Structure 1
């Protein structure tokens, strides 16, 4: 444990950010799973609507600093490619 007051504060904020980021990543994984499930059932309308939601959430994750922009771009393009194959 740190002895310096500012580092103690920093540790608290880091922990809050870590929990928030984990929650956001978990939500993203759930949404991506929904897209993949709708692709598996060949439901194009559901897949496209879920893809729109996931794309928006991925962009928001990038703006909040949860994900790197290239990671989000790779995920979006991969999902879009799968949806277009239906």
Structure 2
């Protein structure tokens, strides 16, 4: 348990940041899931639209430190390849 005033404040700050990051990660995962579902359905236009919506969310998560920059780039790249592969 925190004893000092600053340690107690640090706990509050960490709790807030954790909640914000959790929301950001959840939002990103929702967009990723929509892309996955569109790819699974085989609908190229739906997959393109889902990817167009998901890409900024993924990159924003990386910019905010929720995921690593390279992880975000890898996700976007792989989704783009999979969307292009749809006929």
- TM-score normalized by structure 2? 0.90
Alignment of 1:54-69 (within 5 A): 54-69=54-69
The runs of 5 or more residues in structure 1 that have no matched partner are: none
Distance 1:73 1:18 in 2: 23
**Root-mean-square deviation (CA), in Å?**
1.1
1:7 aligns with 2:30: no
Number of residues paired by the alignment? 86
Q: TM-score, normalised by structure 1?
A: 0.91
Q: How does 1:1-86 map to 2 (within 5 A)?
A: 1-86=1-86
Q: 1:1-34 deviations in whole A, cap 9, x for unaligned?
A: 1111111111111111111111111111111111
Runs ≥4 in structure 1, deviation > 2 angstroms?
A: none
